[in-house]
Amino acid sequence: PKEKNWYGTHLYFYQGFWCASRVFRAMICFQKHFQALDSDIFLTSIPKSGTTWLKALTFSIVNRNQFAREENPLLSSNPHQLVPVFEYDLYLNNPCPDLENSCPYQPRMFSTHLPYAFLPPSIKDSNSKIVYICRNPMDMFISLWFFTDKLRPDNVEPLSLDEAFEKFCQGMHDFGPFFDHVLGYWKASQENPNRILFLQYEDLKENINFHIKKLGKFLGFPFSEVEEEQGVVEEIARMCSFGNLKELDVNKNGMHTFGIAHNTLFRKAEVGNWCNYLTPSMVEYFKKLIQDKLDKSEVVFARTL
């Protein structure tokens, strides 16, 4: 089946998920050709769940001893330029991209929005690390609605909130359905906790220092007592904070490869921003959907409702 995307292109339903056609081709090349290394780190998410933040944090944690504070590459590059996306930056126009030059830092770090089921066996069978971040679907939905409007060419009519809501609830959005995406990674993280870390945006917002330390430990780059005393964790939190990244020249004025302005990646960064946009009946429907879909898992978004 084929459906109109939120910004004028098409979505195809493939093995339970909705994918844009060009991503579909890139995904096949990625699945076929990519060879994972045990030292690789993969950052995974459904769009608008905090990917940019996770990339900045992971990059800073892993490379904290590679450069002086004032030479942090985050000062001159957007986090997405430091951690390329398989299906956009690497395999979109090239079946065998030059991975070494795409990742100038070691260990290699990549990202993807593909569901867990679509990851190549090479990744699943390796000893690499996977970090997944997700977010309350109501905030993610509002974030996606604003973002896709920025991707919309002038000749495509804007999608109303009602229409977007309808599509979201049916799972029709890039890499949707949302709940299947979240649950795929959730189950994998339960089966393989040493390899797959499942994070929630709201938890990072609540206690970022704790999660920086957790990420460091999980990835094999734990913080020493001396580092903690020196305030290294707090400095990473500050560098990667929304307020700091948003104001950097590269993020205010830079452009990503597909003509996406870096500043479109930074909007409000609030927990509960949905309450300014969703109608009471939408909220009611959402709550029921969340309850139905997550009923048998331990994933809880309730704190943010």
- CB-nearer residue toward ligand A3P: 126 or 132: 132
- By CB under 6 A, tell whether 111 contacts ligand A3P: no
- CB-nearer residue toward ligand A3P: 64 or 126: 64
- By CB under 6 A, tell whether 50 contacts ligand A3P: yes
Radius of gyration for the alpha carbons in the chain, expressed in angstroms and rounded:
19
90 DSSP assignment = I
Binders of ligand A3P among residues 213 to 242 (CB under 6 A) are 240-242
- By CB under 6 A, tell whether 83 contacts ligand A3P: no
Amino acid at 244: N
Q: Is 173 a catalytic residue?
A: no
- By CB under 6 A, tell whether 52 contacts ligand A3P: yes
Q: Which is the catalytic residue, given 113, 181, 211, 262?
A: 113
Q: Which of 266, 286, 290, 301 binds ligand A3P (CB under 6 A)?
A: 266
CA proximity to 237, closest of 259, 217, 256, 213? 213
- By CB under 6 A, tell whether 78 contacts ligand A3P: no
Q: Which of 18, 53, 168, 198 binds ligand A3P (CB under 6 A)?
A: 53
In the complex, least distance from residue 133 CB atom to ligand A3P, rounded to whole angstroms: 8
- By CB under 6 A, tell whether 45 contacts ligand A3P: yes
In the complex, least distance from residue 50 CB atom to ligand A3P, rounded to whole angstroms: 5
- By CB under 6 A, tell whether 268 contacts ligand A3P: yes
- By CB under 6 A, tell whether 114 contacts ligand A3P: no
In the complex, least distance from residue 145 CB atom to ligand A3P, rounded to whole angstroms: 9
In the complex, least distance from residue 229 CB atom to ligand A3P, rounded to whole angstroms: 25
Amino acid at 149: D
Q: Which stretch binds ligand A3P (CB under 6 A): 50-58, 64-72, 123-131, 209-217?
A: 50-58
Q: Which residue has the tokens 């001893």?
A: 65
Q: Which of 22, 25, 214, 267 binds ligand A3P (CB under 6 A)?
A: 267
Q: Which stretch binds ligand A3P (CB under 6 A): 7-15, 188-196, 220-228, 264-272?
A: 264-272
Secondary structure, 3-state, 102-150:
HCCCCCCEEEECCCHHHCCHHHHCCCCEEEEEECCHHHHHHHHHHHHHH
Sign of the alpha-carbon dihedral angle for 21, 27, 33, 34: positive
In the complex, least distance from residue 32 CB atom to ligand A3P, rounded to whole angstroms: 26
Q: What are the Cα distances from residue 149, in Å, to 117, 260, 264? A: 29, 12, 10
Element (DSSP H or E) covering residue 198 = strand 196-200
Sequence-separated (6 or more) residues with CB below 8 Å from residue 139? 201, 270, 271, 272, 273, 274, 304
- By CB under 6 A, tell whether 256 contacts ligand A3P: no
Alpha helices in the chain (DSSP H): 21-33, 51-62, 79-82, 99-102, 121-124, 137-151, 161-169, 178-191, 201-206, 208-219, 225-229, 232-240, 242-247, 249-253, 280-294
- By CB under 6 A, tell whether 49 contacts ligand A3P: yes
CB 154 within 8 A of CB 221: no
Q: Which of 11, 134, 265, 294 binds ligand A3P (CB under 6 A)?
A: 265
CA distance linking residue 111 with residue 42, whole number of Å: 5
**Residues found near ligand A3P in the complex (CB under 6 A):** 45, 47-53, 56, 139, 143, 146, 240-242, 245, 265-269, 273
Catalytic residues: 113
